[in-house]
Every structure is written in structure tokens, then in C-alpha cells.
Amino acid sequence: MIESAIPILSILIALPLVSAGALALLPDPRTARRFALAAACLELALSLGLLAAFDFDSGKTQLIERIPWIRSLNIAYVVGVDGLSVLFPFLTALLSVAVIVASWTQIQTQVRLYLALLFLLESTTLGVFCALDLVLFFLFWELTLIPIFFLISLWGVGPQRRYAAVKYTLVMLAGGIPLLFGILLLAFNHAEQIGLPIPRGLSFDYLTLLHLPVSEEFGTAVFFLLFLGFAVKAPVFPCHTWLPTVALEGPTGLAAWLTGFKLGVYGILRFAMPMVPDVAKHYAWLIAGLGAIGVVYGALIALRETNLRRLLAYSSISHVGFVLIGIASLNVQGVQGALFQLANFGIVSGGMFLLAGFLHHRLGSTDLSGLGGAARSMPRLASFFFILGLAAIGVPGTSGFAAEHLMLIGAFRAQVGTGLAALSGIVLSAAYFLGFFQRAFFGTVKLETVRVAADLRPRELLLAAILTGLVILNGILPDLVTGTSRTAVAAWVARINSTPHSSAYARLSTGEPNY
Amino acid sequence: MSAEMSGPVQTAFPILGALTFLPLLGMAVAFFARSQRQAFLVGTLSAGLELGLALYLLSAFDADSSRLQFTEHYRFLSVFGLHFGVDGLSVLFIAVTALLGLLLMLYGEVAQERSPGLYVANLLAFQAALMGLFESVNLLQFWLLSCVELIPATAILKLWGTHRDKERAVALYLQFMASGLLMVLAGTLLLGWNHASATGTWSFEPAALLRTPPPPLLQSMAFVLIFYGLAIRLAQFPFHAWLPEISQHGTHATLGVLLVGAKVGIYALLRFVLPLLPEAVHFFKPLVVGLGLTGVFYGALLALMQLSLRRLLAFAVVSQTGMLVLGIFSLNREGLAGALLLSVDFGLAAAGLLFSAGLLLRRAGSALLPRLGGLFDFMPVLAITFLISALSTMAMPGTPSFDAAHLLLEGTIEAHASGVAVAVAAGNVLAAAFLLYAFQRTFLAQRRETAIRPVRTRMTLPEATLTGIVCLVLLGMGFYVEPWLKIVDKSVSGLAENFGIAKESPPAPTSKVR
């Protein structure tokens, strides 16, 4: 275990909070925006520092900070990162800079509160990625709800925004219950295994619990509780209905955030599966099955959508299914690809939603009826949107290709059926994206608003260019991303596959591990 | 340290007596106040001193002992005595009562002009009665003080109630309370009589009553009488009908804060019912758990249907009470500690909700949700106070209730089937539903045609202090629950040991799952 000298993770988590507090002192919206951008850039620089301080050759958890918090329940403030999570603080910082830049002129009311809530969301999201104590994780997990509730209900662009805010919060709170119970069961299991009475024997420490076997029936309960909790947030197929609502009613910056960071999938990868590896392996078919349904279902619905924001939401659901298939393949390629795709979402889905936001800001609508021929007046916006769209489809040369390619290899090696489902997802995604793009951006200009719409301003242009640049860079040099997680993914896969009593079914359905 | 603890700890300075009599003194002075200003000055001084005393008690309190501390005996006329003492079960309640007293003075609600000091005097009398209740370790004394508590409560309701129908509310309140008190009295006398028939002397000290455990039938009778008597005071479903009425017709915040902010019923359950009637507690556990569960959902569902913010908050309390009772009847250390901490937190959170609703009503003039809306711009501080209290009520992580609810759930999983725990958690989501709904309707929703346009008024200094204290205490306690847990831990463990037969075997949940 490597303890860090400078508490860089705590600084990363605390800095947005401090910035949010400092915003209270800046009554002028213009100053507030500039200050927020500066603070977000500082955070981005710090997150680059984190990448520099991280040792990519080691598969271990690093930069751990541990402070006792509630001693009598053995709850501590523990943060740390490993190869699975180290990219996400950077992406979080990057996307928050992007959201602040993108909403520069879109948000005109209560600017300070908006920015403060954005910082709060950034801080809690960072906490979710870094927390290594399950109660601390749950704390950050639930605290993300407060800024999201306000962001949707105060700055949502749709008329039903308040309904959307309550719907989102209630669905998430309901999803929090199984999560909490799963965490409690893990702690109980720890007490039982080491044979101490309940309050003293409890442990919520991720690294401790990871090394403790969980009894089979207990393990099944833990797995399903955690999986359910994370599936709601992801969103995995039957629990997905909140995402289209929020994407349509909420502010586009937040929609970019929610589709950019699949906290639920991260939770499945980080907690639900490694905690109970043999159960996870046993039920890998279930994860893959839900993923396969999600891929096809999301894509089919997206094919029928006429509103860009709903289309992006359903495409996001389809992508989550894809990632689940990758994870459930339980081999290095699949998991590596899934992790790559998770990192990709932050840039690609986030970027597409921000561009959709620019479109909405100009035309007051992202529905087909309000578009048509938009490329004529906004050629730059259209081209950047197109490149990001190609990345979402997974065209070679973009980062999406590398990720989907890896996941497809993994899926075909594990189970041909899920591999085919994933492949059909790619074809369908090309269909819905290109179909919508053609109808929205090409053809004759029907509306006056579209004819006179201004193209991307320099601020927006820079933002889009940076995001697109990253997409292409990662597409040409995928090792930049995969290199950060190689050892961690290998350890993850080995952990899931090397459990002594894995079932025969799992071995059959996943293929033999090859290292 | 254990050597000093051999006998009950007696202190040189009678701090518990002082806590009870200081408000009485303040009351006497307040009666002679010439103006509102003077009266509130006296009240604030007295309540501030009281809070200081309570904080001193909290710091002097020895958390490593499960014994009664600072005990004091007073004898009047050789018949009636007062026996005061605190332990981990009561010391937090005392602190909360003192804090609420000060907050009420800052809130300073007076609807009509009456003799200037009367309102403050009533509040102080109420505070004295509550202090006495939380310090009582004698069953009969507890009952007598419960009767005394009725006097200021009725007076406040009658004199400063804000609704035409308040007479009906007063009658309803008195009927409910009187029947509850009668039941508690009957149960008390039953226990005393049992003691007398065994030893020849009457006593209502728990220590003495413990030496003569009543036979099962008598225990059951006493349990039914005392528990359901207390259930009325707690507003436990199905004995809750008085609470929505008085919160709709009574004062905006004052009475509600005192009646639900300080959870007297929970204290009595922990102090008297659980230790004295262990077998009956076990026997009636399924019934009580059923009622508690029903209460959680019933309260939450009815709260969702209310049009008036005031009634909504009352049903929120009904829902909370169900949860607390469930925690207590898990009868293990985690459940009890969770329920105890949660009742303190819920008390504070309910007070926070009531205060912010009260301050809102003072500006908006209506509590009907359809007539409110879009008030966030007008009163952001109130909105935030309301939200923090609401989050605390729905046990959001980061508020004190989360750690307490977390403990309570652990205890519930251990004691009941985990289905019960799931139901409690689901009930909590419902609580989130109605509170978020209320918050949105009041502060965020589009203002309708019929909605009220409040004048934009600045908060006065006392009001700002009040909201500041509420937010600070809730958030401050939320991120660092350790010291509070330590305070209650020893006493609660002692209590749980009474029911500890089941705990000797390895932890319950795993054995259940296997």
C-alpha cells in the first residue's frame, strides 16, 4: 500500500468545494464566470499532476490517504486511485471546464448558484471515483443528487423540468437503498468472518473487504443488491427511463455530465463484481444478457427519435449495454475496451451533448421540426458534431473504434451471441446517427431561424476542437488510454477468473482465461 | 475511575435542578415584563443561560459510564419526592430541549397582543416541564410532569392558535392526551402495586421495580397500558390523529417544535418500558413492529396528499415516529443507538422544518401549497434551511440522520427479517418524495395566477441567527457523528444487554441467511 506525501486526491476533492464557497463573495456574474473558469482550469492542472504522480507500472492502489472518521463503526475517510480509476479525475476536471465554457452565455439567471452547484457536483463525482471506504463512497454517491436536483429544476430547458428533477432524485434514492444494504451485508460478512461482535467487527474499507471471501448465499445477495443499485444509475436496460426525461428537460451541461460519467458502470466494475468474484462470474451471463438487450433496445428507440437530445439519451443507453457486454466477457480485451469506452463517454457523449446545447441555444429546439439544413449556416458545428458522432459509432481513426474493437474481440471470445448483439448495436448506431444527421443538417433550409443562425463562436470552437482533438489523438494512439489501466485490468480479470469455486457454467460461458 | 463510580455520582452543584428551575425563574420574571421586548429579552437570557448549563452538562458528562450521573433527590412533605439523573439516554435530549428553547425565543412568534409576558412565560414553563421529564428517573414523577406539561401546551394552543377551529383542536388534544395519561397512570400504578404487594412499600423507582419483576400477565397489562399511553404522545400510528389537527390550527411553529422536537415518548420507552417489562416487550414486538411499519408508510402517503404545508409536516412526523419505534424494538445495541440518535436528529430536523415553514408563513401568509410557489428568489436562506432540514429528515448522507439511520438499519437487519429493514428504507424514500415535493411546490415551482406575492423582506437578526444555528447544528453534527455516538453508547449497551440472550450466539443476520 503506497501512502502519499501530498494529499493530492483530497485537494482535488476539496478545491471545487472551496471554489463554490468563494463564489459567494463574487456578486458580479462576469467575474464569477471568470473565477469559476480559472478554478476549473487549476483543478484540471492538478488532475494532470495526479496522472504524473501515478505509477502506471504498478497494479496497486496508490496515493492512499486514510483518516479515521467514525471510529466506533470503523468508518474512515479513505481515498486512493488505481489503474481503473486514475483517468476519471482528469476527465471530470476536463468536462467541468467544458461545461463551464459551454454554459458561458446559456445560463443567465442565478449564475453564481449554477456555478457553485456545478463545483459541488464536480467535487462529489471526484469523491465517487476516489473513495475507498464504502460508506464514504455512499456519502459522495448520494451527495451528487443535491446539485443535480437543483441543476435540473432551476436551469432545465424543458417545461417539465421540475417533474424531471423529482423523478431523477426519487429513482436515485430508491436505487440507493439496495446499494446501502449491499454495503451493510458486506460489513456484516466481515464481522462474521473475523469473528468479532457487530460494531467492532464491521469494516467498510474497500481494500480490506476485497481480500475477504464472502459466503455463497451471502455473496449472491450482495452481488444483486450492489448490481441493482448501480444498474439504476448506469442506466441498465429496465431501469433507464429517467435518462431520456432528464436529457430532454434538464440543462444540456448536466445531460452532458450524466451521459459522460457512467458512475453506475464504474460502480459495477469497481465494487459489484470484484467484491464477490465467484458470484459475478456465475451471473456474467445475466450482465451480458441485460447488456445485449440494452444495446438493441436503446438503438432501436434511438432510430425512431426525432429529438436530438432524446436520441443521444437512448444512444447512451445502448452504449451502456455495449460496455456491460464488454465487462461480462471477463477477459482482458473486453474489460480493457469497456474501461476505454467509459473514459471515452466523458469526451464523446459529453461533447455531443454540449454541441446539442449550442444548437438548442441558437434555435430553441433540437427537434427535427426545428432543424433541417443546419449545416448550411453552421458548417463548423455540423462538422465537429459529425466527428464526435463517428467516434460514437466507432469508426476507425477515432477513439471509439479502439474501444469498441477491443470490446468486440472480448465479447466474441467469451460468447458469440453477445458478440453478435454488440455488432448489431454498432450497425444500428451508424443508422440512427447518420440518419438523424442527414435530416437535421442537410437538405433544404426550411426555417428562418436556421438560416440566420450563427456558427460556433471562438469560445465554442476552441472547446469543440479540443474535445475532437482528444478523440482523434486517442484513436490514433489508443495506448495512451489502455496503457494507464493495463496492469489493473489484468489483475481485475485474474481476480474474477481465479476464484477457487467458480461454477462450471461460468467456465463454459466465458472461455478459459489465457494467462 | 471505576472506584468513584461505586455509588451514584453526586455533584456539588445541583445542575439538573438548576436546569429545571432556571426556566421557572425566567417564567416568574417574564410575567412581570412590561412589554414584548422586555419579555423576549428575559426569555432569551434565560434560554441562553439554560443552553449554557446544558452544554456544561454535556461536557461534564462522563461517557464511559452507563450509570446515572448528577443524581439529585429532593423531598417535599415526605410524600412526594423528586429524583433527577441523567445518563446517555437522556443527556442529548436535554441538550436539544435547551437548544430548542433558545431557538423559540429567537423565533419569537406572537400572533396577538395579550399581556406581554404571558407567551414567553408559557414557553419557559414548557421548557421547564420538558427538562423535568427528561431528567426524571422515577415513573410516577414522569407521569406527574407529563400532566404538568399539558398546562402550557393547552395555554399556547388556546391563546395563540391561529385558526377559527382551534377550540376543537384544543378539545381533541386534551382528549387524546388525557386518555394517554390515564393509561400510563394505570400501568404505573399496576407496577407500583406489584412492588408493594411483594415488599410492602410503594415505590416507583425503576431500580426498586426491577427487583420485583411482575408475573407475565401483569407485565403484559402494564406494557399495553404504558406503551399505548406513550404512543399517543409520540403520535405513533394509529394514535396520531391529534397532531395534524393541532399543527393546522395551532401556532405556526411554537407548539409543534416543543411537542415533536423533544421526543419525550421515545425517552420514556427507553427509560421505563424497555428495562422494566422485558418479557412483555419481547412478546409484543411483532405487533409493535407491524404498527411501526404501517406508520412509516401511512404517514408518508398521507403527507404526499396534503395541500397544507402544516399538515404535511405533521404527517412527516407520524412517518418518522414509525421508524424510531421500529429501531427501538430491534432491541439491540445498534438499533437502540440508531433510534436514540435519530430521535434527536429528527427532533432537530422537524424543528428546522417547522421554523422555516413558520417564518415562511409569516411572510407569505398562507400554508396552502397551491398558493405558494417560486419563493426561492424571495427567501433563499429560508429555502436552504428548509432543504437542509428536509435532507436531514430523509437521512441523506452528510446530515446527522444518515449515520443514525444507518445504525438503525443495521440493528433492524440484525433483529428482524431484512424485509423490515428494506421497508424502512423504502419508507424513507417516500419521505424524500413528499419533502422534495413540498420543497418544489413552495420554493421552485412557477408561481401561479392565484399565488401569493410576498413582499421582499430582509430577515431580522434573530431570524437569521435562528436559521444559521439550525443549519450549522445539522451539518456540523452530520459530518462528525463520533462524539454523539460515544455519549449514548454505554447506556444503550447496558439496555441492550437486558435483551442480550440472543446476542450471545454469533451475529444474527448470517445465521438467518444460511
- Verify whether the Cβ–Cβ distance B432 to A170 is below 8 Å: yes
> Measured between beta carbons, which residues in chain A are less than 8 angstroms from residue B402?
139
pLDDT of residue B449: 67
- Verify whether the Cβ–Cβ distance A215 to B407 is below 8 Å: no
pLDDT-derived band of residue A1, with 50, 70 and 90 as boundaries? very low
Of A142, A143, A177, the CB nearest to B422: A177
pLDDT of residue B455: 67
Q: Which of B440, B477, B487, B497 to mutate to test the interface with A (most CBs of A within 10 A)?
A: B440
DSSP state of B117: T
pLDDT of A307 strictly over 60: yes
> Measured between beta carbons, which residues in chain B are less than 8 angstroms from residue A166?
433, 436-437, 440
A259-268, B1-10, B438-447: least confidently modelled range: B1-10
- The distance of A24 to chain B (nearest Cα, Å) reads 13
pLDDT of residue B512: 37
Give kind and range of the element (H or E) at residue A80: strand A75-81
pLDDT-derived band of residue B379, with 50, 70 and 90 as boundaries? confident
Give the residue, B171 or B375, on which the prediction is more confident: B171
pLDDT of residue A510: 41
The mean predicted confidence, pLDDT, of chain A is 87
**Prediction ipTM score:** 0.70
> Measured between beta carbons, which residues in chain B are less than 8 angstroms from residue A197?
503, 507
Q: What digits encode the pLDDT tens for the residues A312-332?
A: 999 999 999 999 999 999 888
pLDDT of residue B493: 83
- Verify whether the Cβ–Cβ distance B413 to A188 is below 8 Å: yes
pLDDT of residue A499: 56
Q: What digits encode the pLDDT tens for the residues B288-298?
A: 998 999 998 89
- Is the link from the previous residue into A7 a cis peptide, with omega within 30 of 0? no
Q: Which residues of B touch A (CB under 8 A)?
A: 332-334, 376, 391, 394, 396-398, 402-403, 406-407, 409-410, 413-414, 418, 421-422, 425-426, 428-429, 432-433, 436-437, 440, 444-445, 480-482, 485-486, 489, 503, 506-507, 509-510, 513-514
Mean pLDDT of A75-95: 90
Q: Nearest chain A Cα to B399, which residue?
A: A139
A220 by Cβ neighbours in 10 Å (0-12 / 13-18 / 19+) ranks as middle
- Verify whether the Cβ–Cβ distance B507 to A197 is below 8 Å: yes
Find all residues with CB under 8 Å of B354, minimum gap 6, and list them: B252, B253, B256, B257, B260, B261, B313
pLDDT of residue A13: 93
Mean pLDDT of A368-386: 87
- Verify whether the Cβ–Cβ distance B429 to A162 is below 8 Å: no
- The distance of A182 to chain B (nearest Cα, Å) reads 11
User: Taking a C-beta distance cutoff of 8 angstroms, is the pair A270, A335 a contact?
Assistant: no
- The distance of A114 to chain B (nearest Cα, Å) reads 14
pLDDT of B108 strictly over 70: yes
- Verify whether the Cβ–Cβ distance A153 to B407 is below 8 Å: no
State CA A168 to chain mean position distance: 16
Mean pLDDT of B68-84: 73
Q: Nearest chain B Cα to A74, which residue?
A: B482
Mean pLDDT of B231-239: 86
Kindly state the cell numbers that stand for B500.
442480550
> Measured between beta carbons, which residues in chain B are less than 8 angstroms from residue A73?
403, 407, 485
Alpha-carbon distance of A170 to A185, in angstroms, equals 23
Please count the other Cβ atoms lying within 10 Å of the Cβ belonging to residue A269.
24
pTM comes to: 0.82
Q: What digits encode the pLDDT tens for the residues A97-128?
A: 999 999 888 888 888 889 999 999 999 999 99
Say how many Å lie between the first and final Cα of chain A, rounded.
Answer: 25
Q: Nearest chain B Cα to A216, which residue?
A: B514
> Measured between beta carbons, which residues in chain A are less than 8 angstroms from residue B413?
181, 184, 188
Of A143, A153, A184, the CB nearest to B444: A153
Size (chain A), residues? 515
- The distance of A238 to chain B (nearest Cα, Å) reads 19
> Measured between beta carbons, which residues in chain A are less than 8 angstroms from residue B425?
177, 180-181
Coil, strand or helix at A131: strand
- Verify whether the Cβ–Cβ distance A139 to B397 is below 8 Å: yes
Q: What digits encode the pLDDT tens for the residues A127-167?
A: 999 999 999 999 999 999 999 999 998 888 888 888 899 88
A158-172, A361-375, A488-502, B295-309: least confidently modelled range: A488-502
- The distance of B433 to chain A (nearest Cα, Å) reads 6
Q: What digits encode the pLDDT tens for the residues A52-62?
A: 888 888 778 88
Of A162, A173, A192, the CB nearest to B506: A192
Mean pLDDT of B169-181: 89
Q: What digits encode the pLDDT tens for the residues B478-500?
A: 777 778 888 888 888 888 887 76
- Verify whether the Cβ–Cβ distance B410 to A192 is below 8 Å: no
Percent pLDDT > 90 in chain B is 3
pLDDT of residue B80: 65
DSSP state of A6: S
- Verify whether the Cβ–Cβ distance A139 to B398 is below 8 Å: yes
- The distance of B497 to chain A (nearest Cα, Å) reads 13
CA atoms within 13 A on the CB side of A299: 27
Give the residue, A321 or B375, on which the prediction is more confident: A321
User: Taking a C-beta distance cutoff of 8 angstroms, is the pair B69, B9 a contact?
Assistant: yes
Q: Nearest chain A Cα to B493, which residue?
A: A199
Give kind and range of the element (H or E) at residue B106: helix B91-107
Q: What digits encode the pLDDT tens for the residues B308-352?
A: 888 888 888 888 888 889 888 888 888 888 899 888 888 888 888
A225-234, B173-182, B256-265, B280-289: least confidently modelled range: B256-265
Cα separations in angstroms, A514 against A89, A333, A340, A498, B486: 31, 11, 21, 11, 52
Alpha-carbon distance of B18 to B27, in angstroms, equals 14
Mean pLDDT of B220-245: 87
User: Do the strands A62-70 and A75-81 form a parallel or antiparallel pair, or are they unpaired?
Assistant: antiparallel
Give kind and range of the element (H or E) at residue B81: strand B80-86
> Measured between beta carbons, which residues in chain B are less than 8 angstroms from residue A169?
432, 436
pLDDT of residue A163: 87
pLDDT of residue A6: 80
Q: What digits encode the pLDDT tens for the residues A430-479?
A: 999 999 999 888 888 888 888 888 888 888 999 999 999 999 998 888 88
- Verify whether the Cβ–Cβ distance B394 to A173 is below 8 Å: yes
